[in-house]
Amino acid sequence: MSLILFDFDGVLADTLNDLLQFGQEACDELGVKHTATAHDLSSLEVMSFATYGRQLEVPEALVNEFVRRCLEKIAAKKFPPAIFAGLAEVVRALSASHVLGIVTTNSMQNVKMFLSAHGLEECFQVIHGIDSPGSKAEKISKARMQFSQQVEVFMIGDAMSDIQAAQAASAQSIAVGWGHQSLERLVTAKPDYVVHAPTELLKVFAKVG
């Protein structure tokens, strides 16, 4: 059994269009003259709402307000984001033999609404969101302590910062090819595994046991 931690945006939830829309709306409301594009997200080394705001040229004094507005807009959305094709089945299969968790810079409220909408709330035993203190590496370590210090831990992410956080927390890292950053960029962070489609996660964990 392993502890498998997923990033949320770009790994479980297909939130690219939401992030672009809500980031643009927050900029407009705050008087920031910047047009949000997919490149703004893909170019981030640290994937978070705060760094996203800075990339959109939000003044430092308004970054926290930008983050707050983005999270509120996501929470107020009538329908939660879609899950990437085939991933729900993979999550259910992995949860039968492993402990699953989520470590994200999104809010726990938004994550729980998403899991409930897709019938996956019973598959995840731990969620650490932006509401939890600490860096992503510290949250990975905290999740490990919740179960067993001896359990093998994996972090699945779509950003260089996910891979770097896993490395800092002595966890195995898995880079995915369907998220906000390109695999060409992700491999420069030297992940332990690279997967191009959700079903390849089953192959990874069939090998590691």
Instruction: Provide the 10 A C-beta neighbour count for residue 105.
Output: 23
Integer Rg of the chain from CA = 16
Q: What is the pLDDT of residue 181?
A: 87
Partners of 193 in the beta sheet?
Answer: 174
pLDDT in tens, the chain (209 residues): 899 999 999 999 999 999 999 999 999 999 999 999 999 998 888 888 999 999 999 999 999 999 999 999 988 988 889 999 999 999 999 999 999 999 998 999 999 999 999 999 999 999 999 988 899 999 999 999 888 667 899 999 999 999 999 999 999 999 999 998 888 889 999 999 999 999 999 999 998 76
Cβ–Cβ under 8 Å, residues 84 and 178: yes
pTM, full prediction: 0.88
Contacting residues for 5 by C-beta, under 8 A, at least 6 apart: 100, 101, 102, 103, 126, 140, 143, 153, 154, 155, 156, 171
Homologous superfamily assigned to 2-13+81-208: HAD superfamily/HAD-like (3.40.50.1000)
- Structure-block tokens of residue 42: 């893909």
The β-bridge relationship of strands 13-14 and 82-83 is: antiparallel
Q: What is the pLDDT of residue 42?
A: 87
Phi, psi dihedrals of residue 192, rounded to the nearest 5°: -75, -35
Q: What is the pLDDT of residue 149?
A: 66
Domains of the chain: which residue ranges?
A: 2-13+81-208, 16-76
From CA 201, how far away is CA 124, in angstroms rounded? 16
Residue 76 to residues 19, 62, 66, 71, 168, Cα–Cα distance (Å):
13, 21, 15, 9, 34
